[in-house]
Amino acid sequence: MDFAKSLLQPLSSSAVGSGVLDATKLVILGGTVETARRAASSGWNSFVSSFYLTAHFCEDDYPYDWLLNWLSKQPAWSRSREFEATTSTVTATGRSSQRTAGDEVEEDIEDVIEEDDGRPRLKVHFQPTLDTTHTIYYKGHLLRIRRSKKTDGSELSMLTISVVARSNAILKQLVLQAKREYEQECVDRVQIYFADQHGSWRWSDSRHKRPLSSIVLNPGVIEMLVADAKDFLRSERWYASRGIPYRRGYLLHGTPGAGKSSLIHALAGELALDVYIVSLSASWINDASLTSLLGRIPARSILLLEDIDAAFTRSTSRDKESTGAPSATKETKDAAGPETKKEAEKDDSKLSLSGLLNALDGMQASEARLLFCTTNHLERLDPALSRPGRMDVWIEFRNASKFQAEGLFRNFFPVAEEFEAESTPSSSLFSSYNSSTAATPPTAPTTPAPSTPSTSATPSADAAPQSLKDALPTLESASSLGTTLLDAARLSELAKAFAEAVPNEEFSVAELQGFLLKHKSRPEEAVRQVGQWVIKERELRERLAREREEKEEKERVAKEKRRKEREEKARKEKEEAEEKARKEREEKEKKEKEEAEEKARKEAAEKEKVSPPASSESEAAAAKPKDD
């Protein structure tokens, strides 16, 4: 204070008004008090904080999803006065849309289910806006929860939970409970994760489990696959005791639209496994990013490499020198010359076969996972990739057999008993067909055999097979029912008639499904129309094939024309160049000759000047005076 007084003394003595003095005193006093208050407050805060245990959860890891799912069910969380409404899920049941809207409201709001007016039902979730702190009671403890963005520029969200407690047991309990609840909700769903361009796994979708019975394959294939996968999942010790890497690979190859992806998703549901999908044709995929991704797949999950041949058309070629060893280190690249360095950098942006093999079964590759690879072009795969140990089980997919056509038909149409039991036609879709139709022993789904599409006779309304003809007389009465409900015997009869009308292995299951979808409430009509559809499809295929051929022929002719034009142009240019060279040569020779002649002439003239001819000498002698 004395110091302040001494500072203020000159002011007072210089007759400044006492009002100014008082104001200045007030400012100094206020500043001192505020500084003291802040010091006390920060001391108190750090004192209080020292009692808090804090856990951080980042969006790119599973506990974040578990906790957000748990929080979304806490009234205190959803009753926030400043909140975000989002259909982007924080729950285990779907993150299908990205709509969000921030607002401030005065009233309590519960989750809202939008009315089902024919559009998909979206569940709207409410959660506090970013950077607001919330307190929630949990088992007698007060939790302080804050959602914020990470500051490392990754745009990822963080969840920070603090609690006053002596040990972190309460936080562990919370995480485990959130995990249990999340998994409970996942029971009927399959979680799908995609590799993103940052080299991380991103949750992408949560799909309803598809019953295996909805997949129609030839007898025994599904049973074999399920038994094999189940056997693998319970054989960890067996593998460990024999020193065999605990991994299993399945190669699903063959015609498009035959059910490869569908089978994998149905199997994931059956075995309660999550699916991790990498697209090897993505431009950002290279050896390093793939190795890192495949090393971070949780145990007991499915790794799916779709269209594995596509990776090889992008940039990968079999590196003959490659031994599968890791690529050059940064130091060795720096030590190399600029050209080599450029080459090495170019290589780094590619996926090589050795890199892929390394990622699949190198030291870093995770174990206890089922690898599924799909391809429509088995012939494009390098044998190193498809050999046993990497791909232990091969399953070939062909166009629909008659057995599959019949199974698909059964799946589509409800039988009356089931319809009554389930009361909704859509829920019974895919449910009536069961494995009782697939009781024959498994076919060996190992090495591929060449596909042999059926050349069976064209079915038509006139030339309908006997079973179809048998079915037709009763169609009229059945179709008068509107949504036709069939008894089991009738369904069986129609399914057989349908299968007989469909040529063996000529159309994919997806194509048959497309046809049946057009008649999904009219099974009789489907049977009646299928012969016509087959004819039309064949005509369409022929037309498309013809158009493709014509296009290819046009392209071939145009290419040939361009080639000839190029050759003609090159020939002309060559001739012109030769002519030009010849002329230049002649010109040059002519010039040289002229120059040589000129030179010779000049030399001769010079010579003449230096030594005159003998006749002139004698003339001179004659002209000399006689007295000499």
Ligand X SMILES: Nc1ncnc2c1ncn2[C@@H]1O[C@H](COP(=O)(O)OP(=O)(O)OP(=O)(O)O)[C@@H](O)[C@H]1O
Contact positions vs ligand X (CB under 6 A): 214-217, 256-262, 376, 397, 509-510, 513
DSSP-based helix, strand, coil % in the chain, nearest 5: 50, 15, 35
Q: Which residue, 211 or 324, is less far from ligand X as judged by CB?
A: 211
What are the phi and psi torsion angles at 583 (to 5°)? -60, -45
Least separation in angstroms between residue 105's CB and ligand X is: 42
**DSSP helix/strand/coil, 163:** strand
Q: At closest approach, how far in Å is the CB of 433 from ligand X?
A: 9
Least distance in angstroms from the C-beta of 250 to ligand X: 13
Q: Nearer to ligand X by C-beta: 352 or 508? A: 508
Long-range contacts of 400-403 (CB under 8 A, 24+ apart): 400/216, 400/258, 400/502, 400/505, 400/507, 400/508, 400/509, 400/511, 400/512, 401/218, 401/504, 401/505, 402/499, 402/500, 402/502, 402/504, 403/216, 403/218, 403/219, 403/437, 403/499
Cα 590 from Cα 592, distance rounded (Å) = 5
Min CB(345)–ligand X separation in Å: 34
Smallest gap from Cβ 376 to ligand X, in A, equals: 5
- Chain residue whose CB lies nearest ligand X: 259
- Which three-class secondary structure string do you get for 118-159? CCCCCEEEEEECCCCEEEEEECCEEEEEEEEECCCCCCCEEE
The nearest distance, CB 511 to ligand X, in angstroms, is 8
Q: Smaller CB distance to ligand X: residue 160 or 376? A: 376
Please, what is the minimum distance in Å from the beta carbon of residue 399 to ligand X?
10
Closer residue to ligand X, CB minimum distance, 309 or 500: 309
Q: Which is nearer to ligand X, 249 or 259 (by Cβ)? A: 259
Tokens (6 digits) for 557: 């002719």
Q: How far is the CB of 352 from ligand X (least distance, A)?
A: 25
Q: Which is nearer to ligand X, 171 or 216 (CB)?
A: 216
Q: What does each C-alpha distance from 374 to 152, 251, 273, 436, 602 come to in angstroms?
A: 37, 6, 18, 28, 90
- Please state at what angle helix 221-233 crosses helix 260-271, rounded to 10 degrees: 40
CB 447 within 8 A of CB 394: yes
Residue nearer to ligand X on the CB measure, 158 or 510: 510
SS3 177: helix
Least distance in Å: CB of 355 to ligand X?
24
* Cα Rg of the chain (Å, integer): 43
**What is the rounded distance in angstroms from the CA atom of residue 295 to the CA atom of residue 199?**
11
Between 68 and 371, CB nearer to ligand X: 371
Residue 260 beta carbon to ligand X: minimum distance, rounded to whole angstroms: 4
Q: Please, what is the minimum distance in Å from the beta carbon of residue 371 to ligand X?
A: 16
Closest to ligand X by CB, 376 or 529:
376
CA distance 352 to 335: 23
Q: For strand 201-208 and strand 189-195, is the pairing parallel, antiparallel, or unpaired?
A: antiparallel
| Closest CB to ligand X among residues 373, 415 | 373
Q: C-beta of 266: minimal distance to ligand X in Å?
A: 9
Please identify, using beta-carbon distances, which residue of 150 and 377 lies nearer to ligand X. 377
Cα–Cα distance, 402 to 608 (Å, whole number): 114
Task: Report strand pairing: 123-128 vs 141-149.
Answer: unpaired
Cα–Cα distance for residue pair 388/393, rounded to 1 Å: 8
Q: Which is nearer to ligand X, 215 or 359 (CB)?
A: 215
Of 530, 500, 495, the closest CA to residue 512 belongs to: 530
> What's the rounded Cα separation, in Å, for the pair 94 and 309?
31
Let me know: does 252 contact 470? Beta carbons within 8 Å: no
